[in-house]
Structure 1
Amino acid sequence: MGVEIAVSGLTKRFGSQLIWDDVTLTLPAGEISVLLGPSGTGKSVFLKTLVGLIRPERGSIVIEGQDLVQLRGDDLYEVRKLFGVLFQDGALFGSMSLFDNVAFPLREHTRKGEKEIGDIVREKMELVGLAGAEGKLPGEISGGMRKRAGLARALVLDPQILLIDEPDSGLDPVRTSYINQLFVDLNAQIDATFLIVTHDINTARTVPDNIGLLYHRHLAMFGPREMLLSSEEPVVRQFLNAQTIGPIGMSEEKDADELAAESGQELPPLPPIPLQLPTSDGTPRRAEREAGEWCRSNGVTPPPGSFASTTAGIVGVDQGADA
């Protein structure tokens, strides 16, 4: 089962450049969270800080009662065993077969025999849909397959926390949909805590239980998916709905003249909140919430048409929080 990650007051600089300041959030155990933000806002730096590869100037990262920021040596190494990481490009060794790439963490960090390693590798490769491809080299397969091989490697030590950096990078929309479905199915099966960094708005709107948005060197908002998708906060509304009206410009922030030119313009309506992506076989995930639950509990009227599925003939909340 996944574990909770409590981040408090996290601040990171590179020299005089502030990356982000006073980031505070809690990643709930066993849930899928997504971290968004314009390019250059330090999302990948945040992932590396969570796993202890980069040290912040201030703040804490508490996992199972231990502050990872304060740990050193063997203590840090032990906490890192809780993590699996899928890097943006898969980070596979080009001269190794997929089998050896996936087996690498087991050979480096355990004393398991080759037969047991082989069984685990084949199990994880089947889990990500790569059964039969064990002998191929990374250069012989597609980008989507390399992502899945990297995911299999991230899973071989049975992590309780899975960090995923830009899984849609370099993938077409169809492959992105497949890998999103894989994340949802995996979460149901292994119940780990997922944090996905992405730019893909469809992923953010349909996959996670929670969404966070980094903007202008701080965490603009973090919370349940429905909270952010119904938010009127300008930067959250603009980014999650891919709108041009709002504080975000081509160089992250719009200048005063651009904002003044937008003054008085009517904002486009919020689009309907979609149903969350279900598992392939319809098995509920432990963290799954009923559609519209957050809106009803907080007295928020979602945009018209929210939580409706015409393809499955399922209608949840369709015109308001009490529908």
Structure 2
Amino acid sequence: MGVEIKVDNLSKSFGKQLIWGNVTLTIPAGEVSVMLGPSGTGKSVFLKALIGLLKPDEGSIMIEGTDIASCSEKELYEIRKLFGVLFQDGAMFGSMNLFDNVAFPLREHTKKSESEIRDVVMEKMDLVGLVGAEDKLPGEISGGMRKRAGLARALVLDPEILLIDEPDSGLDPVRTSFINQLFIDLNAQIDATFLIVTHDINTARTVPDNIGLLYHRHLAMFGPREMLLSSEEPVVRQFLNAQTVGPIGMSEEKDADELEAEKDLDMPPLPPIPLQLEPSNGMPRRSQREPGAWCRDNGITPPPGSFQENMSMVTGG
């Protein structure tokens, strides 16, 4: 069921500039989690800390009993074998065709024969729908195909943790939907923990089992998708529902005058909680959460017209 990531009291600064402080959360094993936040809140910095590319100033990141915030380089090298990373642009080598790009980690980190490497590469390219494109160069394909090739490369070492940095960057809404469905299908097929950093609100509302929000140099909230989508916390409610009323302005936070002018305004009503994406191959989601279970178990009435409300009416839940 993948690997749990336990983050405790994590802080990171660059010089005198605090990026975020006292971040504490547990990313559940085998589930899909999303990390959100306004631009400049350190989401990508958080990913780099999780994989050990940046050392935090304080706190711990526990993965299978190892604190990667303080472990030795040798221990970090071993823990990194658990990770696959999909960067924003796919990070393809422009002079290599897709096959050689995807094969690169296997040639660098394993002693597999070329025949074995070919079997693994073609299996992963089949998973992401790129069979037939293996001889193309990255410059000859679309941005969406490059992201899928980057995902295939992230999968070749059979990672237990997948870190995905802004997969929607540069993609139109249709291709973003396709890659979101691909993440759900992969999560149903492989034992991996997914953490996706994104700005895309539709992704945040329909893909994950869990959502986190970085804001104003701290973690505003982290928990089950339904908890955040039904939250009355102003910054969470504003961001997840793409509203202009709330503490977030054109800069990361509004000034005192703007907030004072808004304090007596009612926040717009919460929209219905949408149906969570299901695997297209008929396999169950790893989390196995019953729709509406979090709302029911925590005594929260789902917003009118939501899928969860409709389910509770049908099931009597």
CA deviations 1:39-90 (Å, max 9, x no partner) are 0000000000000000000000001111111112221100000000000110
Paired residues for 1:27-42 under 5 Å = 27-42=27-42
Instruction: State the partner residue of 1:23.
Output: 23
CA deviations 1:249-272 (Å, max 9, x no partner) are 111111111112213222211000
Instruction: State the partner residue of 1:7.
Output: 7
Counterpart of 1:316 (choices 301, 311, 314) is 311
Q: Is 1:274 aligned to residue 269 of structure 2?
A: no
Paired residues for 1:221-260 under 5 Å = 221-260=221-260
CA deviations 1:176-231 (Å, max 9, x no partner) are 00000000000000020000000000000000000000000000000000000000
Instruction: State the partner residue of 1:301.
Output: 301
Instruction: State the partner residue of 2:55.
Output: 55
CA deviations 1:284-310 (Å, max 9, x no partner) are 12213111000000000110011169x
TM-score, normalised on structure 2? 0.98
Contact 2:302 2:308 in 1 (8 A): no
Contact 1:306 1:317 in 2 (8 A): no
Instruction: State the partner residue of 1:144.
Output: 144
Which residue type is aligned with residue 207 of structure 2? Answer: V
Distance 2:71 2:100 in 1: 31
**TM superposition shift of 1:283:** 1.9
Distance 2:313 2:136 in 1: 48
Unaligned runs of 5+ in 1: 310-314
Instruction: State the partner residue of 1:312.
Output: none
Distance 1:308 1:73 in 2: 47
Contact 1:304 1:318 in 2 (8 A): no
Distance 1:261 1:142 in 2: 46
Moved more, 65-74 or 176-185: 65-74
Contact 1:273 1:306 in 2 (8 A): yes
Distance 1:153 1:62 in 2: 25
**TM superposition shift of 1:318:** 5.8
Which residue type is aligned with residue 160 of structure 1? Answer: E
Instruction: State the partner residue of 1:44.
Output: 44
Contact 1:306 1:318 in 2 (8 A): no
Distance 2:281 2:244 in 1: 38
**TM superposition shift of 1:322:** 5.9
Moved more, 92-101 or 281-290: 281-290
Q: Residue 69 of structure 1 aligns to a residue in which SS?
A: coil
Distance 1:263 1:253 in 2: 14
Distance 2:313 2:175 in 1: 30
Contact 2:291 2:308 in 1 (8 A): no
Distance 2:124 2:6 in 1: 29
Distance 1:286 1:259 in 2: 41
Q: C-alpha root-mean-square deviation of aligned residues, in Å?
A: 1.4
Distance 2:283 2:107 in 1: 34
Distance 2:286 2:237 in 1: 28
How many percent identity over aligned positions? 78
Paired residues for 1:94-133 under 5 Å = 94-133=94-133
Q: Is 1:166 aligned to residue 161 of structure 2?
A: no
**TM superposition shift of 1:136:** 0.2
**TM superposition shift of 1:108:** 0.3
Contact 2:34 2:196 in 1 (8 A): yes
Aligned structure 1 segments of 4 or more residues deviating by more than 2 angstroms: none
Paired residue total = 317
Contact 2:103 2:117 in 1 (8 A): yes
Contact 1:36 1:212 in 2 (8 A): yes
Which residue type is aligned with residue 295 of structure 1? Answer: C
Instruction: State the partner residue of 1:188.
Output: 188
Distance 1:124 1:185 in 2: 13
Which residue type is aligned with residue 192 of structure 1? Answer: A
Contact 1:19 1:41 in 2 (8 A): yes
Contact 1:97 1:137 in 2 (8 A): yes
Distance 2:163 2:197 in 1: 8
Q: Residue 317 of structure 1 aligns to a residue in which SS?
A: helix
Distance 2:260 2:161 in 1: 44
Q: Residue 180 of structure 2 aligns to a residue in which SS?
A: helix
